[in-house]
Structure 1
Amino acid sequence: MAHFSKVLMFSKEDFDDWNIRMQAHLAAQDDDRWFVITNGPLKILKPNTTIAVTEDAQEMVEKQRSEWTSEDKKKANLDNVAKDILYKTLDKNTFSKIKMCPTTKEIWEKLIQISEKNEQTKEKKLSVAMQKFENLKMKDGETLREFDERFSILVNELAALGKELDNREVALKLMRALPRE
């Protein structure tokens, strides 16, 4: 099992980044681990042998726990593993808000709700980011590469907040932000 040395601590303020990093982290460890977060715990199934099989599809039924193979047990435990990873990223206050959620899918949905619950906060973040965009200028002594990095981060932040900038708007901003020689 993969282990990460730096815990990605949950933050309402940096939820968008945390969300992307956790998705990547969980999916990188096991595609099914991300599946249980988006779809709920995996059901361990087997073909139903008590009814006639049709040519198109065979009906599946849940396996009894006593029939599980080692692989079945690993799959069934993915929700617990993902839950453990999420718990380790939460502070005491946030944990208290999700601790009664029985599945990682419900935990994840609750964390999204906690983080995006306040639409005013998102609007404020967008307003601040737009103000930064409007006032963006290349700093004295700043290289073009450094400016480009700051500019790209800001454009990505705006996109994450739902602000679509058209190419013309971006080009005009760049022309105004760069020093004239």
Structure 2
Amino acid sequence: MQTHLFAQDDDMWYVITDGPMKILKVNTAIAILGGKPQMVEKPRAEWSTKDKKKANLDNVAKDILYNTLDKNMFSKIKTCSTAKEIWEKLTQLCEGNDQTKENKLTVAIQKFENAKMKAGETVAEFDERFSNIVCELISLVKIYTNREIALKVMRALPKE
């Protein structure tokens, strides 16, 4: 049973990344000598229960994606017709294109370089704020060594 679940998960991910599944069958009208048989779309009347489940995976994937979004995000993807379109739109909205990612990285690096403990800020508050900056950098694939982070923290603390 577990194998079946993993296969369905793989099919679900395929639908999200590559689009709705096409239900195919071997084209018996064309004989292929020594090669792969030609595949053609299977008529709905010939679909098995398994074929119907695979064909419906796009609807299941869309439903899962819809149920994870708040009203604001849903309004941005509601015109998408496939799970793949939804996924691509969400990726664009949340991650941005390469230029957007580069801009986010530049801003995060500037936050790191300019980090200073503010007047009246406790060490715990500064630590939380600085940790958020480091986490943001990690999410943008910019990693500092522990030594670099420790030196930055030391420079960011007030002289007192």
Pair in the same fold by TM > 0.5: yes
Once superposed, which parts of structure 1, at least 4 consecutive aligned residues long, lie more than 4 Å away? 117-122, 132-137, 153-156
Specify which structure has the higher proportion of helix: 2
Corresponding residue to 1:172 among 144, 147, 156: 147
Structure showing greater radius of gyration is 2
Mapped contact 2:108–2:137 kept (Cα < 8 A): no
Q: How does 1:112-151 map to 2 (within 5 A)?
A: 112-117=91-96, 123-124=103-104, 127-128=107-108, 131-132=111-112, 135=115
Counterpart Cα distance in 2 of 1:172 and 1:131: 18
Query: What is the aligned length?
Result: 139
Question: Secondary structure in 1 aligned to 2:145?
Answer: helix
Which residue of structure 2 aligns with residue 62 of structure 1?
Answer: 41
Which residue of structure 1 aligns with residue 51 of structure 2?
Answer: 72
Which residue of structure 1 aligns with residue 75 of structure 2?
Answer: 96
Corresponding residue to 1:160 among 139, 152, 159: 139
Which residue of structure 1 aligns with residue 21 of structure 2?
Answer: 42
How far did 1:171 drift? Answer: 4.4
Question: Secondary structure in 2 aligned to 1:46?
Answer: strand
Which residue of structure 2 aligns with residue 18 of structure 1?
Answer: none
Counterpart Cα distance in 1 of 2:113 and 2:8: 37
TM-score normalised according to structure 1 size: 0.61
Describe the shift of the 1:107–1:120 C-alpha distance in structure 2 as closer, same or farther (beyond 3 A): closer
Q: CA RMSD in A?
A: 3.5
Question: Secondary structure in 2 aligned to 1:41?
Answer: coil
Question: Secondary structure in 1 aligned to 2:31?
Answer: coil
Unaligned runs of 5+ in 2: 1-5, 155-160
